[in-house]
Structure 1
């Protein structure tokens, strides 16, 4: 049996990270952080094929976090988790910074979420 893929989840609202973790835990190993700085430390220690990050966070916002992730790792896929639609300027900025797609809050059907995640894990 092959090892399960690891997903790094970053959201300053602990409940949102926990919801994503519960939805994904049957098929993936998830590490959840409420602070982008601690998530960056984890990324320096561990290879994550996918990161799901909130866009609106204190201290290090989602766009800045994505830019820092891209300095560390160009291969990791990044999904932004947001209540904004894809045309919103902050979403567009995050996509230009290196995000690969968006997950719109509230989260979609769990099966659709898993399909979206699987499509980005290399």
Structure 2
């Protein structure tokens, strides 16, 4: 995996809170070295019973609950599949990855029934973990966590690092004024931009009417075949972000 893709994955995963469960101390320590590359908040348990306790404790408060669970299958006290089934009684949606030495069909079927999103066989490496996390990001639509990515309505994505607008992964060609418009709005995600703000930033001066701004918005709407900027009558515009 190239460094740009890896960096893009890490930009997202570093914002996730992870519960990691593994009973083998050597495997646990080795895996943590790799996971620490991707995550800054990792809670560690050694069996399914500890996993349930840690999950329930965190789950008391929505602001601190886990975003992802990574677990082995065969563990003492409560095995991984039994733990997952119990967790599913509280949370049907939390993504769960399995890191396991078992490739038997019955294990696969049980984990599918438990609603897991990925299965990596031991021994694994950085690339395998990266690929699984990349698929997780795509499947769970976590791209909005990338500090450079703004997920907009109607399938549009603005990459502020590359100053590029995408629609269904295809680059949308923008004029200089249109590029400046997106840069202005991406600086403050939820802010309303007044007509004066837009004129000064894009044209360098202010006129006595809003015609230049309205013409710019109208041409962009025609190009995109979608009105991506919401007009707030008498005030200005807001960029339309995807509602989570």
* Bucket of the pairwise TM-score, normalised by the shorter protein: 0.7 to 0.9
Q: Which of 127, 134, 139 does residue 111 from structure 1 map onto? A: 127
Do residues 7 (structure 1) and 15 (structure 2) align?
Answer: no
SS across alignment from 2:132: helix
Q: Distance in 2 between matches of 1:105 and 1:55?
A: 11
- The total of aligned residue pairs comes to 120
Q: Which of 32, 35, 47 does residue 35 from structure 1 map onto? A: 47
Q: Distance in 2 between matches of 1:118 and 1:4?
A: 14
Aligned to 2:57: 45
1:39-70, Cα deviation, whole Å (9 max, x unpaired): 21211232211111111112211110110111
Do residues 96 (structure 1) and 113 (structure 2) align?
Answer: yes
Q: Distance in 1 between matches of 2:57 and 2:136?
A: 21
Going from structure 1 to structure 2, the CA distance change for 1:82 and 1:27 (only over 3 Å counts) comes to closer
Which TM-score applies when normalising by structure 1?
Answer: 0.84
**TM-aligned CA deviation for residue 120 of structure 1:** 2.1
- 12-21 vs 28-37, which deviates more? 12-21
Q: Distance in 1 between matches of 2:112 and 2:100?
A: 12
Q: Distance in 2 between matches of 1:118 and 1:88?
A: 25
Q: Which of 42, 53, 57 does residue 75 from structure 2 map onto? A: 57
Runs of 4+ in 1 over 3 A off after TM superposition: none
CA contact (8 A) 1:4 1:27 kept: no
Larger radius of gyration: 2
SS across alignment from 2:70: strand
Aligned to 2:92: 74
Q: Distance in 2 between matches of 1:41 and 1:95?
A: 23
Which TM-score applies when normalising by structure 2?
Answer: 0.45
**TM-aligned CA deviation for residue 99 of structure 1:** 1.6
Give 5+ residue unaligned stretches, structure 2.
1-10, 59-64, 143-244
**TM-aligned CA deviation for residue 118 of structure 1:** 4.2
Aligned to 1:21: 32
**TM-aligned CA deviation for residue 91 of structure 1:** 2.2
